[in-house]
Structure formats: C-alpha cells, structure tokens
Amino acid sequence: MKGRKVLATLMVIVLMVLTPALMFAGAEADADADNAAEAKPFKLAVIVPGVTAGSPIYEQLVEGAQKAIDETPGASMKVVELGFNQAEWAEKMTSVVATGEYDVVLSSNPSMPFVSMDIAGQFPDQKFIFVDGFIDGHPQMASFLYNQFEQSYMLGHLAGLITTSDMKGANADLKIGIIVAQEYPALNKLMVPGFKQGAQAVNENITLDYRVVGNWYDANKASELAKSMIDAGVDAIGVIAGGAAPGVFKESELSETYVLYWDDNAYAQAPGVIAGCGALLQAQLVYEVVTDAVNGEVEYGTGTILNTRDGYVKFITDDPNYIATVPADIRAKQQELVDAIVSGSLILDTPAL
C-alpha cells in the first residue's frame, strides 16, 4: 500500500513538471504554424483572355508580372491562356480559381471584370486585379483603366491631319475609318468617340467609317473590310484588332494609305504604313501593381483611371519610322496637341463608362 502511494505521488510530480512543458511546446507549435502561414510564398495566376504571342498588351501583362515575381523571394506565377473562344473563358477561369492556390488572379481586358463576377461570388476569398479594364466597388476586385479617350483622341487628331493633308495617298474626301475586332464598353464609349472627336478637332467635316471584324484573329476579314473602306475614299484607318491587324496593314500598304495603331509601339511592323501609335505602358503598370499586391498594398473595391499625364498612356513621337513617315509640319501640329494633353493645359471631357 505504501509503495502505491509513493508511485502515485511520483506520477503527480511528473505530470506537474511535464504539463507546462507540453503546453509550451503546443504553443510553440501553434506559433510555428502561424509563422509558416504568414511566410507562405506569394502565388499569382495570370489569365490571358486569348493568347500571349502576337498581342502586345498581353505580352506586356506577362512581362510586367514576371518582373515583379522574379524580384520577390519564393514567389511564383502561372500563365493561363484562355484562347479565342470566349464561350469557354468563364469555365477555364473557374478551374483556375477553384484550386484555391493563388493569392491573386490578374487579367487584362475590358470584359474580364464582368466575366469574373459570378466566379467571385462562388469563391468569396479570391482576390482579382484587372488592368485595361474597369470595375468599382466590388470588394474582391481592384481595377486600373487607361484613359483611352485621350489615347484615341491623339490618334484621331493625327488621322485628321493626314486626311486633310497633301501626303501621298491622302485624298480630298475627308474620310477616316476604324476597324475593331469586337465591341465592348470602353471601345464604344471611349475609344471610337475619342478617335472621331480628335479628327474633327482638325476639321469638323471629317466623317468616320466604322467596321467590326467579329474576332481578334481573322486577318483576311480585316483585309476585306480595309479594302472596302479604302475603295470608298478612306485614307487613314485606326485599327484595334489584335491578330487581325496585319490584314489592315497589307491593304493600306497596297493602296498607299495610312494606319493608326492602339496600345503599343508598332511602327516597325509596317514602316511607312503605320503613321501613329498610341501606346499603353502596361508592363510598367503591371509590375507596380503586382509588387503592391505582394506587399499587401492593393486597395480592393476600387477602380482607378490613369490619364496621359500619369505616364501610362503615350503617343509615340520619337520613333524613326514615325519621323520618316509623317512630314515635319504635321508632326509639329501633332506634338502641340500631345504636349497640351500631357501638361494638362488641354483637359478633354472624358465620357463615363
């Protein structure tokens, strides 16, 4: 009996000694788990609504994101191309989000915030960032839209200067054109009106011929539309058509007319044909936004519009092909307009989306 009492006493002593140690060890394990969660490497999904190759805006999207990820220890990113069939975009994007692997889903296209709306509802913890798109007030989303009214106005102004000039290929009909891949809100509300208003700031009698390809890749269809426009007297064509744009370049080259190009410096793609380029500095913006996302500094629920004077929208005036194609007197008039917009001395009345 006495031995049992001694044994019981020893067990109590052992428990008294071990319990705090076990509790400390448990707390330490919890802290380690918390620290591990905090140190979880940042993972980014880059969703390309189409294909990357041949699309300057998407090439810049991937370039800017990759640079930010490369500068972040342990971070990684996956690029997912949705292809040209828009009916499949939501399903493919859902499969990415459903993995739960990614801290942020990044995409670029005016339609993507709306494609993602139902997906966000299914996965309320997922964060989304959209560049070259706009949505405001959604708690899971942050968006950054370039002021493409200003961009388009500058391109339209040059088209107006060309069609009223005596440049080779220009005629007296005062007709310009614009060929687009597909319609979307920013195009209809900002880009086409901006292009037309910029041209009519040169001469109010200039008219606009507007055509839609129907997709982002059919260069043959774009070529047919351009030929029809040119035959009707158009001598300067704006093109927003992605992979279909070379069809317009071809017809303009054959007819010695001119092209105005959105979103990138593309003069070298068709020297002597592309007379003006309005670039978006997407790689720079994406790098900055992804860096902010890694550091937890993105303000979700907001939509930001970036103007020319913010430095992300630019009319390219220093390219040798621009200088060789456009006469000095026209370049001087175009430079006056660009400088006025950049300085803020000319504030354009940008329509609401």
Q: What is the pLDDT of residue 152?
A: 98
How far is it, in rounded angstroms, from Cα 288 to Cα 282?
Answer: 10
The DSSP annotation for 336-352 comes to HHHHHHHHTSS---PPP
218 alpha carbon, distance to own chain's centre: 21
Q: What is the pLDDT of residue 14?
A: 38
Q: Which residues in the chain show pLDDT less than 50?
A: 1-37
The pLDDT tens digits for 215-256 are: 888 999 999 999 999 999 999 999 999 889 999 999 999 999
Q: What is the pLDDT of residue 186?
A: 85
**Within this chain, domains 43-147+283-306 and 148-280+309-343 share the same CATH topology:** yes
| Domain ranges across the chain | 43-147+283-306, 148-280+309-343
Q: What is the pLDDT of residue 332?
A: 98
The CATH T-level fold of domain 148-280+309-343 is Rossmann fold (3.40.50)
Total Cβ atoms within 10 A of residue 224: 15
247 CB-contact burial (10 Å; exposed 0-12 / middle 13-18 / buried 19+): buried
DSSP 193: H
Q: What angle do CA 10, 11, 16 make, to 5 degrees?
A: 100
The DSSP annotation for 72-84 comes to STT-EEEEEE--S
The pLDDT tens digits for 126-172 are: 999 999 989 999 999 999 999 999 999 999 999 999 999 999 999 99
328 alpha carbon, distance to own chain's centre: 32
| Architecture of the structural domain at 43-147+283-306 | 3-Layer(aba) Sandwich (3.40)
Q: What is the pLDDT of residue 250?
A: 97
Q: Residue 283: which of 266, 263, 299 has the closest Cα? A: 263
